[in-house]
Structure 1
Amino acid sequence: MRKNRKYNALLFLVIATPFMFFCCTIIIELIISTLIYIKYGNFIFNIDDFYLALKIVPFGIPAGIAMWYLECRRLGIKIFGK
């Protein structure tokens, strides 16, 4: 049985994009907290920052689907046909 690579790419993007959103949010908040620590001597990184990152994660699923759709259009791949 032949695996269809375009659907493997969709699965990867739907899983990887939310994870990437989560990691980028945490890294940006850590950088901002470090800059605040250097300037004021007060390191602010709470559990609320993780909650904020988890609230951003669901936006990664439609973003991953949109990236997959646009890549298929760019490469000229028919999504629902052969």
Structure 2
Amino acid sequence: MTNPKPIYHPELQCAVFGLSYDFVTREGILNMDESNASDMTGCIALFKRIDPKVQAIQTVAGTTNDTSYRLVGKAWTAIP
């Protein structure tokens, strides 16, 4: 079995394995390659196209939780 290779995503500015979204909780997860970090603006824009009412996004680099983006009032906040 071969290891899957991440694909570089220009909007996210990182190498991505995949993403998931829960429409009930309005939370997304972005799975990136180890030691990658996503562009906050690009990540939020991508998930807002999936659901304009997205409330939170967790990025994961390899097996490590990276950054959490949360909508607080009308502003997005990054929590490392």
Query: Normalising TM by the smaller chain, what interval?
Result: under 0.3
- Higher share in helix: 1
The two structures have a TM-score, normalised by structure 2, of 0.23
Select the structure of larger CA radius of gyration. Answer: 1
Provide the TM-score with structure 1 as the length reference.
Answer: 0.22
Structure number with greater CO (CA < 8 Å, separation at least 6) is 1
Q: Which has the higher strand share?
A: 2
